[in-house]
Chains A and B, each alone.
Chain A
Amino acid sequence: MLRFLALRVARACITVALVVTFAFIVLRLSGDPALIILSPDSPPEAIAAFRKSWGLDDPIWQQYLRYFLAIIRGDLGVSMRDGQSAIMLVAERIPATLQLTIPALLIKIGLGIPAGIYAALHRNSAIDRIVMIGAIVGFTMPSFVLGLLLVLIFAVILGWFPSGGQDTWMHAILPVLTLGVGGAAILARFTRSAMLEVLGQPYIRTASAKGVPWARVVRGHAFPNASIPVVTIVGFMVGSLFAGAVVVESLFAWPGVGRLLVSSVANRDLAVVQCILLLVSITMVVSNLTVDILYGYLDPRLRTGGHT
């Protein structure tokens, strides 16, 4: 188990290091930082002084090393717009994003998994058909279309909820629904197919043949074995808690991390973009790591085998 854990942690660290390297390469490829920050027609002496003070004349590996160490120290630079620390700017937005993504995650899990299990157990029933149609629509309908349709119906035509902003909890309902319903459909589809696959296995037939009550077969034999693909998808959803709402936040004018990302990209505020990129990759990697550890718990074969 320790070996399994150590391998996974090492891989997680490599992934984060790769993201940092990716950001560094893209940053350098995108042009001379001196010319981006100063204007191209500043005096050559000023540009030379800038390059010297930021170490841009050093060999590229030294620059890379320095960049890496700065990030480890938590120094992610300042926003070009107001000189505020990029990390603070992003951290301020996190609570607003979580206000949307956590309730949405609860909807996805609370609606998606039971619907998927029910659909698998009652194959070809009306509920199964509805779940499958919902899953296909959830997959093919982009979140902005779903969001706009909800606005059209509930804000414009019925006038029940406001269409944008962040003043009361009423404002959160439409964005949370947009995020939650689409995700629930996807999760239901995965749960359904994982359950169907397990239900066709010989050990299920054995368990019910030896007289185990069907409810217990489902709870004790089928669901634990079907949970691995489901946990993978849920892990991905947890990993995107901080930045999974880019489109929805922009649509509903919700001041979260995703909207900050879009405006920073539009303004080419590189320090902020890089900070969000790191935040996203670290949450993603940590949740993947948690999923890997959960695998070891759910499937003892992986624990002893060590590699898959």
Chain B
Amino acid sequence: MTDATLPAEKAVRSREDGSGGKGIPVSVYIAIFWLVAMVGIAIFADVIRPYGITSMDLGNRLARIGNPAHLLGTDELGRDVLSRLIESIRVSLLIAFGASLISAFFGTLLGFLAAHFRGFVEQLVLMLADFQAALPFLILSLAVLAFFGNSLLLLVCLMGFYGWERYARIARGLAISASAQGYAAAVAQIGASPARIYLKHILPNIASTLIVSMTLVFPEIILLESSLSFLGLGVQPPMTSLGNMVGYGREYLTNAPWIMLAPAFVIMFTTLAVSVVGDWLRDRLDPTLT
């Protein structure tokens, strides 16, 4: 009886999840379109930006949305909000991409080291991972900024510390189970070096899981950077980022809410889009991951 009911139940469940069908949900198309647009804007920011980010139009301060010269209006100094938004998208995405890569690289490396050496190294990595997971990262990064002052490079490196422990745990677990499988043992028998085994054989096999974790960490890094910049402790003027724009825009909430709303919606849609794509990828590639 169980044999008969289980597949039926599974079928019902996957229909309910919306993951049973082969087609890609509309929401994923929209999310991918949004992300491609954001990356395009970031790459071609210099070409599509109508004005310089610091050039002021003093006769046109706090212009409303839909102003013929300034599509998204201007801020208190008469700077074009659309141009600043485009530049902010570039800076925020650059920081988030850079930080995600750093975090994925070191996390995976530490995970592999733990899986390879076991014993003391493994305990050390796991202890550091626990330590990182136990503390609110915003407080930790504020402390580091207090001690070291602020620069873009430091900010990227600091954000790069975010989430490494998740890659490390996943990479360690998967590498340990992979090295017990035939293929890793076989190349080891042929005489491949450990670096070759991990990079050329194990890494490609676990890459899909790591990519899914990246889609989970990426939006959190965007939120973290924008929170720091909102507090005035992240990206510093004259540079601008999405959080930074919201932070300065809140002064004009009453008479010019568009300065703050435009970057706020970009942050929301971008994190939402990455999450939607990430959830979909997770269902496709590795349903076990939570």
Contacts and interface: CB of A to CB of B under 8 A. Distances in A.
Q: Do A and B originate from a single complex?
A: yes
Given A30-B147, A148-B250, A265-B145, A18 B136 contact: no
B219 interface: yes
A148 B264 contact: yes
A273 B145 CA distance: 10
Contact of A280 (B136, B148, B149, B223): B136
Contacts of A15: 130-131, 134
A276 interface: yes
Given A123-B16, A148-B260, A247-B230, A288 B134 contact: yes
B146 interface: yes
Interface residues of A, number: 52
A298 interface: no
Nearest to A265: B146
B271 interface: yes
B135 interface: yes
Contacts of A288: 134
A246 B268 CA distance: 20
Given A140-B219, A156-B253, A265-B146, A148 B246 contact: yes
B253 A148 contact: yes
Most buried by B among A19, A23, A140, A250: A140
A246 B271 contact: no
Contact of A246 (B127, B142, B264): B142
Contact of B272 (A29, A30, A140): A140
A140 B253 contact: no
- Contact residues of A: prevailing secondary structure: helix
B190 interface: no
B48 to A, nearest CB: 25
A30 B135 contact: no
Given A124-B16, A148-B250, A14 B231 contact: no
Nearest to B219: A140
B275 to A, nearest CB: 6
B152 to A, nearest CB: 17
A247 B290 CA distance: 27
Interface string B248-286: 001001100100100010011001100100000000000
Interface string B185-202: 000000000000000000
A48 interface: no
Contacts of A284: 134-136
B35 to A, nearest CB: 13
A151 B261 CA distance: 12
Interface in A231-283: 240, 243-244, 246-247, 250-251, 261-262, 264-266, 268-270, 273-274, 276-277, 280-281
A262 B231 contact: yes
Contact of A247 (B130, B231, B257, B272): B231
A244 B227 CA distance: 13
B82 to A, nearest CB: 19
B77 interface: no
B127 to A, nearest CB: 7
A215 interface: no
Contacts of A285: 134
Given A145-B268, A251-B250, A277 B139 contact: yes
Interface string B140-167: 1011111111000000000000000000
Contacts of B134: 15, 281, 284-285, 288
A294 interface: no
A247 B233 CA distance: 11
B232 interface: yes
Interface in B17-60: none
A27 interface: yes
B226 interface: yes
A142 interface: yes
B138 interface: yes
Interface string A170-198: 00000000000000000000000100000
A13 to B, nearest CB: 12
A274 B143 contact: yes
Contacts of A124: 16
A103 B148 CA distance: 35
A145 B82 CA distance: 19
Given A124-B16, A136-B272, A243 B139 contact: yes
A148 B271 CA distance: 18
A141 interface: yes
B18 to A, nearest CB: 10
B140 A277 contact: yes
B145 to A, nearest CB: 6
A144 interface: yes
13 contacts: A15-B130, A136-B275, A139-B271, A140-B223, A140-B271, A144-B247, A152-B257, A240-B136, A246-B227, A247-B227, A273-B143, A281-B134, A285-B134
Interface of B: 13, 16, 127, 130-131, 134-136, 138-140, 142-149, 219, 223, 226-227, 230-233, 243, 246-247, 250, 253-254, 257, 260, 264, 267-268, 271-272, 275, 290
